[in-house]
Amino acid sequence: KFEEKHFKYIIVGGGIAAGHAAREFTRKGLQPGELAIISKEGVAPYERPVLSKSYLFPNGAARLPSFHVCVGDDEKERQLPQWYVNKGIELFLGTEVVKADLASRTLTVANGRIFMYRILIIATGSEAIKLTDFGVQGAHAKNIFHLREISDADELVKGMKRKKKGKAVVIGGGYIGLEVASAMRINDFEVSMVYPEPWFMHGLFTPAIASFYEKYFSDKGIKLFKGTVVVGFETASNEEVKIVKLKNGQVLLADVVVVGIGGRPLTTLFKGQVQEEQGGIKTNGLFRTSVPDVYAVGDVATFPVKRYGDLRRVEHVDHARKSAGHAVGAIKASEDGKSIGEYDYLPSFNSSYFDLSWCFYGDNVGEPMMFWDKSTPSTTKPKFVTY
Ligand code: FDA
Ligand code: NAD
């Protein structure tokens, strides 16, 4: 039905890594018509973190085009859809790749069109894990939301408008759980959080950090249900969620439920064709996969962390940006018969809730030492460092 499309470079996925890779290509030298980005999302690459924060705010909520990649770096660099046109980069939006054949270097998209490439960058990111994946009773009910893409955020915003100042149950004590619980509270919802661990952000926060943040959340009126999970939902006659049943026997009333129980890297298209490790696509320190001319970056890549001597997958923006830049640097250098050094990554994560924010660098090892600003936590501007 369609003519085959040929490109020198194709990026599958149109998220943060794709946007930053495109920018690096243009910096290193790109001819019009050489690069295509194929994305199942309907909009040009944007800074995903906004979705669980200011996108949900009751006043002055962020909306596109204000947070297209790379807004955080330099306003002038913001990659609006026209930027791709100006650079001769073809954006295929609302276009899902449904088949990848790495041996013949072809990709097939949902409408049957075939794309061929010389070099492929896999940047498919992650998908949200759902309670329906585990067959939790009633998990298909209306007003149960997940958050990964802008279309999910739009659904959540609509749900919040329908159930203004209602009861919100946030499931999961990780990144999404904390950020969304805070945003829902700012919207005057009565918020409860449910998570299986003894404290939230369990893998990252020390008990002392967690006790500060949990107190802060409780003081804001958020109820914390720890050490338990959801076993089922009950609905009203209109199929909207009404009751959340916990394993410990408690039941919570709910108008809106948001589930943030982790992400799963999107590797299915490439299964059996490329080496995998830790659920991701295994790469070397230049983000080359086991297949020649195929690179993987961002959430999907399992890469060597030089300073710790192991392999890891990192699901955060800093790495999505830097891995994309590094892969493009490696591609362009190899075209000139050169090489660049291996990726040397210092893990870096961040988050923000209410008027607080934190940054984490490095690895979570050893005995924590905490340095408090003397007036923390009674001050309105608490501050501390943990080493
Ligand atoms: P990303 O998910 O950004 O992009 C993948 C793209 O590929 C998507 O557009 C998807 O539709 C597309 N795709 C997938 N399969 C496809 C197919 N078959 N065909 C076509 N397209 C396909 N991190 C952080 O450090 N600080 C923060 O504050 C936040 N906040 C945050 C909030 C929310 C709500 C989420 C969901 C995530 C964060 N993160 C974060 C994590 C961060 O956003 C994440 O690590 C990066 O977006 C990863 O970038 P990628 O480009 O790898 O994937
Ligand atoms: P997460 O891995 O941060 O947290 C998952 C949480 O789910 C766990 O802490 C646990 O409390 C909980 N959980 C697991 N199984 C459960 C169950 N059956 N019932 C109840 N709770 C359960 O994942 P997330 O918060 O869903 O985030 C998804 C992705 O988005 C991740 O890749 C994350 O890194 C990314 N993200 C990052 C940021 C940031 O860096 N600031 C912000 C939002 C999202």
Ligand 1 center–CA 293 separation, angstroms: 23
pLDDT computed for residue 70 by the predictor: 84
Local confidence band at 384 (pLDDT 50, 70, 90 cut-offs): confident
Q: Is the pLDDT of residue 179 over 70?
A: yes
Ligand at minimal distance from the CA of 122 is: 1
pLDDT computed for residue 12 by the predictor: 98
What atom in ligand 2 is closest to the CA of residue 136?
18
The tens digit of pLDDT for each residue in 316-337 reads 999 999 999 999 999 999 999 9
pLDDT computed for residue 381 by the predictor: 75
Q: How far apart are CA 141 and CA 255, in angstroms?
A: 11
Q: Please indicate, yes or no, whether the overall pTM of this predicted structure exceeds 0.90.
A: yes
Query: Which residue carries 């890779």 as its tokens?
Result: 21
Residue nearest to atom 50 of ligand 1 (CA): 125
Local confidence band at 377 (pLDDT 50, 70, 90 cut-offs): low
What is the pLDDT averaged over residues 25-40?
97
Is the Cβ atom of 51 under 6 angstroms away from ligand 1? yes
Local confidence band at 1 (pLDDT 50, 70, 90 cut-offs): low
Q: Name which of 130-144, 163-177, 288-302, 360-374 the model is least confident about.
A: 360-374
Q: How far apart are CA 101 and CA 138, in angstroms?
A: 38
Q: How far apart are CA 111 and CA 2, in angstroms?
A: 9
Q: Which helix (H) or strand (E) holds 150?
A: helix 150-162
Average pLDDT, the chain: 95
pLDDT computed for residue 378 by the predictor: 64
CA dihedral (369, 374, 376, 380) in degrees, to 10, reads -150
Ligand 2 center–CA 52 separation, angstroms: 12
Q: Is the pLDDT of residue 73 over 60?
A: no
Is the Cβ atom of 48 under 6 angstroms away from ligand 1? yes
For residue 224, report the phi and psi dihedrals to the nearest 5 degrees: -110, 120
* CB-defined site of ligand 2, < 6 Å: 52, 126, 171-177, 179, 194-197, 202, 229-230, 260-263, 315-316, 349-351
Ligand 1 center–CA 15 separation, angstroms: 5
- Ligand 2: residue of 182, 315, 360, 364 to mutate (most ligand atoms within 8 A of CB) is 315
Ligand 1 center–CA 321 separation, angstroms: 11
pLDDT computed for residue 151 by the predictor: 98
